[in-house]
Amino acid sequence: MKCSIIFPTCMNKKAQDRCDILIIGGGPAGASAALKAAQEGAKVILIEQKEEIG
């Protein structure tokens, strides 16, 4: 799965966006956790260093 959206607010320390769950690392475990949490209705932010997750 490729990431094609960049959220500039992630770079802004004064960003007003809030999330229920912040996941750092988009490997298999992080991607699965983010997907499940989003399916359950949580607002999730997933941060991954590389262009691809999973």
CA dist., res. 31 & res. 36, Å (int): 9
Tens-place pLDDT, residues 5-23 = 445 455 555 555 688 988 8
Give the contacts of 20 (CB within 8 A, at least 6 positions apart).
Answer: 37, 42, 43, 44
Residue spans per domain, the chain:
17-42
Top-confidence residue, 12 or 49? 49
* pLDDT score, position 2: 45
pLDDT at 3 over 50: no
Grade residue 53 by pLDDT with cuts at 50, 70 and 90: confident
pLDDT of amino acid 6: 47
pTM: 0.67
